[in-house]
Amino acid sequence: MLKLLADYAMQHGLEVEPGFVPKTVRWAIVCDANGRFLDVVELGKVEEKGNQGKEFGKCPDLSQPELTAGGITKSHFLVDTAEVVVGLGKNATDPKICAKHDYFIGLLRQASVAMPQLSALADCLMDEAALDDIRRRLEAHKAKPTDKVTFRCGSAFPVESDAWHDGWRSFRASLAADKPDGKKRKTSGKGVPSMRCFLSGELVEPESTHPKIAGLADVGGSPMGSPLIGFDKEAFTSYNLDQSANCAVSEAGAAAYRSGLNELIANHSERLADTRVAHWFHRQVPLEDDPMAWLMGSGDAQQELHAQRRAHDLLEAIQRGERPDLARNTFYALTLSGSAGRVMVRDWMEGQFTELVSSIAAWFEDLEIVHREGGRNAPDPKFLAVIGSTVRDLKEASPPFIARMWRVALRNELIPQSALAQALMRTRIAVIQDETPNHARMGLMKAYHLRNSRQKGGHSMPEDLKVYLNEAHPSPAYHCGRLMAVFAGLQRAALGDVGAGVVQRYYAAASSTPALILGRLARTSQFHLNKLEPGLAWWYESKLAEIWQRLGDGVPSTLGLEDQTLFALGYYQQLTDLRTKKTNNVDASGNDIAGEGENSNE
């Protein structure tokens, strides 16, 4: 995984040299050639809400150990926060902030040997009147103390020049000799053994601490970044190795994988509740051909509606040799979250592109279900809609569960029984509370049975459990659910809206102990039939008789978890069938009664 992340950074021309990183800067302090302050300008797409600023591809950067090396309070160079650079905010007089401000000025002085204009900028930052003007301008723009700022001299940004690069490399080398406690660190030439790098396989001097990964603050990570590899507790170490020597990676290797992962998180990842999934391909794939974009619903709106068909078409094109660019491609998917100041890798997957397309096609096909209004299929659900169908609120979905379901979708694996149980519980609540049926939830229960049947070698389930109602389904539990839907429709047809009807009162009990409840509802149904017109009464009697005949030996006394979900599917599909107008629904006198069940109770 580390090697692939580093390869991604190299292939995409990202900055991988230690001590240099891309940084997004919100504000520029504009000065003339003599260092005289002129104005403050906002960078980036200023017309857009939530503008983050302008990204500079190669900025100087110090790691946390370098910032504390020698026991000296340090700042970054050329780019830092408004609080550090000009003392913006209420903490401006804090001794630590003042020390960072002075250090920032010192770095400008030191680099002025290569870039003389930096000396004038240092003079500007030492002028209290100029600092007051800068602060007032930043406050007028509503800048925050934590916003990053840099300088613009005329039309040029010093940070974009390469004149300071060599001096910066020399400066970092001088810091490398010191530990944070001020003691000299041993080098590989003075007794520190070389180790085999986990990333490159070469013998290297391992980096003691790795650079932090950014962009995970919304999924539990630190806003300041969190390490992917770190060993700060004695219990995590072995063989008397110190810190990250327990996972030996060179400084260059650590900078490379950090660069690749940061870019993927920033530009090629999707948030899945409390996790973030980054994915990429060995060879670049157009967005319109990216199966994971269809899964997330982040592609073209029209393609989202037909994701299953698009997956099948793409797979056939690859098999016919029409897409050689995709035939031998490879996909990679990394599921991440933040916890306790470090990056948590929830899952890692890689495989052939064709396998991915096949799995995505199977995912949508298994989830396919009739629309709640009947007469057509429901649209393909987004992945988060499936996750959300199992919980009251999407925030309640746990990262391990999301990671497991992501793997189910990408690897065509079995749906865990825990997902089935959660979907059943939410279905029962929704039915009792008379909520609109959830397509993704019903599709998930259907998909569970289809995949379980395939694993056991069963071939009849796809024929038995269809997208729409199957009056010949072999499961008694399924037909018990159908009975419940017809009883509800019959009551509505006879009495109208009676508030808490048979569904609200009896659905939960009927789905677990059908023999106890459905017999009672059958007796009550005779009173409802007597209130209907003869043609409609005949139609309902025929429908009930057909279902009772399917039950054969009788109604089951109890139903387990899987049978209860078949009950729910039978109820739902019968309900949609009642809502679908059928031209062959005629009474004994030949009168069309189609659609009489359209307003059946949900």
- Residue located via tokens 């569970």: 448
Q: Which two tokens stand for residue 102?
A: 């002075």
Q: Which two tokens stand for residue 318?
A: 């690859």
- What is the spatial distance between Cα 103 and Cα 91, in angstroms, rounded to a whole number? 17
Termini Cα distance of the chain: 49
Is residue 479 within 8 A of residue 546, CB to CB? The reply is no
| Element (DSSP H or E) covering residue 166 | helix 165-175
Is residue 465 within 8 A of residue 572, CB to CB? The reply is no
Q: Which two tokens stand for residue 223?
A: 């806003």
Report the DSSP beta bridge partners of residue 279.
333
pLDDT of residue 587: 44
- What is the spatial distance between Cα 253 and Cα 197, in angstroms, rounded to a whole number? 8
- What is the spatial distance between Cα 32 and Cα 386, in angstroms, rounded to a whole number? 57
| Element (DSSP H or E) covering residue 203 | strand 203-204
β-strand pairing of 148-153 with 27-31 = parallel
Q: Give yes or no for residue 441 having a pLDDT over 70.
A: yes
Q: Give yes or no for residue 99 having a pLDDT over 90.
A: yes
**In the predicted model, what is the mean pLDDT of residues 579-586?**
54
What pLDDT, in 10s, does the model give residues 217-265? 999 998 888 999 988 788 888 888 888 889 999 999 999 999 999 999 9
Mean per-residue pLDDT over the chain, rounded: 88
The closest of 345, 343, 256, 228 to 5, measured between CA atoms, is 256
Is residue 19 within 8 A of residue 49, CB to CB? The reply is no
**In the predicted model, what is the mean pLDDT of residues 193-210?**
90
What pLDDT, in 10s, does the model give residues 17-29? 999 999 999 999 9
What pLDDT, in 10s, does the model give residues 123-135? 999 999 999 999 9
Q: Give yes or no for residue 329 having a pLDDT over 70.
A: yes
**In the predicted model, what is the mean pLDDT of residues 341-369?**
94
The closest of 23, 8, 94 to 53, measured between CA atoms, is 23
| Element (DSSP H or E) covering residue 347 | strand 342-352
Is residue 399 within 8 A of residue 273, CB to CB? The reply is yes
Instruction: Say what percent of the chain tops pLDDT 90.
Output: 68
The closest of 493, 504, 494, 488 to 570, measured between CA atoms, is 488
The closest of 56, 58, 53 to 42, measured between CA atoms, is 53
pLDDT of residue 191: 46
Which position has the higher pLDDT, 589 or 581?
A: 581
Q: Number of helices (H) and strands (E) in the chain: give both, helices first.
A: 23, 14
What pLDDT, in 10s, does the model give residues 276-324? 999 999 999 998 899 998 998 865 544 445 788 888 899 999 989 999 9
Range with the lowest mean pLDDT among 247-251, 316-320, 436-440, 552-556? 552-556
**In the predicted model, what is the mean pLDDT of residues 544-561?**
91
Task: Answer positive or negative: Cα dihedral of 559, 564, 570, 572.
Answer: positive
DSSP assigned state of 16: -
Is residue 439 within 8 A of residue 467, CB to CB? The reply is no
Domain boundaries, the chain: 18-185, 186-267, 276-424, 469-579
- What is the spatial distance between Cα 105 and Cα 153, in angstroms, rounded to a whole number? 16
